[in-house]
Structure 1
Amino acid sequence: MHPILNIAIRAARMAGNLIAKYYENPDASDVTQKGNNDFVTNVDREAKRLIFEVIRKSYPKHGILDKESSKLTDAVTDTQWIIDPLNGKINFTKRFPHFAVSIAVRIKERTEVAVVYDPMRNELFTASRGHGAQLNSYRLRVSTAHDLDGKILATGFPFEQKQHANSYMTLVRKLFIQCTDFRCTGSAALDLAYVAAGRVNGFFEIGLKPWDFSSGELLVREAGGLVTDFAGCNNHLRSGNIVAGNPRVVKALLLSMRDELSEVLRQ
């Protein structure tokens, strides 16, 4: 096991246990709405503090990137932690029990370690580069689907980029004819973890941030899958446009998407 993975697991479990306690005691949660679909709670602030404490205790000089900082802090080494203490925050605020702690570690611009922890189900998804992906220590593999027929796709509405609403809805309409059903759960980290576990066959979403998908991306890759941007390239870290699944599903998704994307989404 990668030595940093142990620390990431410890941080994720501590934060997840805190979140679960708050979920069981909703009156203790303080929710503030900053903007449209943009919430801040004392829960994710405290979970973030716990994660930072665990990281700083073992690796005081590592950089950390999260939604609030939106930039590297103290990045004096080649190692960068990318964290989302509560991925699926809107679900949490609405008492919908589907959210996770997401932690990824990038070393020299490659993601080496990933943890996605679902505290409500006590499901710990982990991966380290070259050593596979696991769920509670059991090996994960993406589905063996050959195409989209009869398959389930996960996605998320681009509520922060509604200028793409028409392209997105056209794409969903086209894919819905080919597949069996969609899942829109509100947590991209868990969606990608579910792709890695074979629970859903593929995933696509517009405009994600690194803290939304960095951990799930490594889970999918280490489970035998692919992650690309909408052009089938590796520009998703900049664009935030993600397609994931086994190689055949990704190919089928990209072929279906190609004629429905605006010029901006093709980049």
Structure 2
Amino acid sequence: MSTSPALTVMIAAVRKAARGVQRDYGELANLQVSVKGPGDFVTAADKRADKTLREELAKARPNYSFLTEETGVVAGSDPEHRFIIDPIDGTSNFMHAIPMFAINVALERKGELIAAVTYNPVTDELYHAEKGQGCFLNNKRLRVSARKDIHEAVVSYEMPHRGGKDLPLSRAEAGALQAKVVGIRSIGSAALALAYVAAGRFDAFVCRNINPWDMAPGILLVREAGGFVADPSTEANPMESGHILAANAELLPQMKAALAESSKF
């Protein structure tokens, strides 16, 4: 299959950043760690990966803007294009040598997501998508789960860390879902959970209070795999509200209805 020049550049940048991440993952004892907040660690590996991604992408697209977890907003002379970057989504997993984290890069044009890469450098699973071109895992076409009944679904619900926002709501929503679904998983990486929805591994995903860089690539992956993304409780854009629900067309309304019952728990 062929990829656009922009996506080719993104994949190359991600693979280059991944080499440093893989080295650091193998030497966890030597990592320098600073604390940003409860359960939210930033490592030297994060910063190095962020720098590599920005440098490589800027070489090929010098005028594009950036929004990254580590750097924030970096304005470019081209106001229509923006890269959205999370150098390591799932840093706590990374620090505990749990091989479930991802390098996340998305590209927006005029506010619309047009290309995405999510890469787990430990498992060498590279998910990518372009608007209108489908979603792929290591070049194999992906489709979201075809399950139509919430009672048969395995759902990923990402619980907030200690001190996180809406902890009572998340506990109540998880309780409401537990009464309906086969099982609930929380893997510690919104990026991978969304990729797993695109791959049909999870039937649905719910997360509250996350940032655009956590979800931007995954949103396009899910859409291009035939799924849908929405705010769990309102008509808001998840990229703006920070709350996201991803599922196929049949499960999405069932998930919303189940989450609405959280007040009973």
The TM-score, its normalising length taken from structure 1, stands at 0.93
Match of 1:231 in 2: 233
Mapped partners of 1:70, 1:143: distance in 2: 34
Match of 1:115 in 2: 117
Q: Does 1:208 align with 2:210?
A: yes
Task: Report the alpha carbon displacement of residue 233 of structure 1 after superposing the two structures with TM.
Answer: 2.5
Secondary structure of 2:250's counterpart equals helix
Deviations 1:56-107 (A, max 9, x none): 1111110000113333432533000000010000111111111110000000
Secondary structure of 1:260's counterpart equals helix
Task: Report the alpha carbon displacement of residue 33 of structure 1 after superposing the two structures with TM.
Answer: 1.6
Mapped partners of 2:148, 2:162: distance in 1: 32
Match of 2:98 in 1: 96
| Aligned residue identity for 1:59 | R
Gaps in structure 2 of 5+ consecutive residues: none
Mapped partners of 1:202, 1:31: distance in 2: 33
Task: Report the alpha carbon displacement of residue 239 of structure 1 after superposing the two structures with TM.
Answer: 1.0
Judge which range, 37-46 or 118-127, deviates more.
37-46
Mapped partners of 2:215, 2:112: distance in 1: 14
| Aligned residue identity for 1:158 | P
The aligned runs of 1:15-164 (5 Å cut-off) are 15-74=17-76, 76-159=78-161, 162-164=164-166
Identity %: 33
Secondary structure of 2:88's counterpart equals strand
Mapped partners of 1:40, 1:87: distance in 2: 10
Deviations 1:189-231 (A, max 9, x none): 0000000000010000101100000000000000000000023
Mapped partners of 2:173, 2:233: distance in 1: 14
Judge which range, 195-204 or 93-102, deviates more.
93-102
Mapped partners of 2:164, 2:213: distance in 1: 20
Task: Report the alpha carbon displacement of residue 234 of structure 1 after superposing the two structures with TM.
Answer: 4.3
CA contact (8 A) 1:117 1:123 kept: yes
Match of 1:183 in 2: 185
Mapped partners of 2:163, 2:231: distance in 1: 16
CA contact (8 A) 2:46 2:70 kept: no
Secondary structure of 2:262's counterpart equals coil
CA contact (8 A) 2:50 2:70 kept: no
Q: Alpha carbons of 1:84 and 1:252: their partners in 2 closer, same or farther (altered >3 Å)? A: same
CA RMSD of aligned residues (A): 1.5
Mapped partners of 1:75, 1:33: distance in 2: 33
Q: Alpha carbons of 1:232 and 1:248: their partners in 2 closer, same or farther (altered >3 Å)? A: farther
| Aligned residue identity for 2:147 | A
Match of 1:194 in 2: 196
Q: Alpha carbons of 1:27 and 1:231: their partners in 2 closer, same or farther (altered >3 Å)? A: closer
The TM-score, its normalising length taken from structure 2, stands at 0.94
Mapped partners of 1:161, 1:55: distance in 2: 35
Mapped partners of 1:7, 1:161: distance in 2: 38
CA contact (8 A) 1:64 1:75 kept: no
2:175 to 173, 176, 188: 173
Runs of at least 4 residues off by over 3 Å: 160-163
Mapped partners of 2:181, 2:256: distance in 1: 14
Mapped partners of 2:220, 2:234: distance in 1: 17
CA contact (8 A) 2:231 2:244 kept: yes
Task: Report the alpha carbon displacement of residue 159 of structure 1 after superposing the two structures with TM.
Answer: 2.6
Task: Report the alpha carbon displacement of residue 163 of structure 1 after superposing the two structures with TM.
Answer: 4.4
Secondary structure of 2:166's counterpart equals helix
